[in-house]
Amino acid sequence: MYTQSSDPKTVCPHCKRGFCSCSHCHKSGHSEANCFVKHPDKRQSKPVVYASKQHSTHFTPYTQEDEEYLKQKYPDLHL
């Protein structure tokens, strides 16, 4: 059981540590003044990252020298 005082800090009897508890949405970690449910305008907007830009592959074609070396080293390799 958690004890709630008049301030937004809640005290856990087991670990004796305080943490914020929102009186609006009843979630821990923030107070009502910083509640995104009550104040959605306080939420920072995240930049949109598209999947195609998130992971990119850079391909460098083999040079003629590279191909010759690979063919000598791995004769069964088909490039």
Q: Is the pTM of this model over 0.75?
A: no
Mean pLDDT of all residues belonging to the chain: 74
Residue 58 has pLDDT above 70, yes or no: no
**Which is more confident, 30 or 14?**
30
Please say whether the beta carbons of 34 and 42 come within 8 A.
Answer: yes
Confidence at residue 27, expressed as pLDDT on a 0 to 100 scale: 86
Residue 32 has pLDDT above 80, yes or no: yes
Token digits of residue 42: 């306080």
Using pLDDT thresholds of 50, 70 and 90, give the confidence band for residue 41: confident
CA pair distance 13, 32, nearest whole angstrom:
22
Please say whether the beta carbons of 12 and 20 come within 8 A.
Answer: no
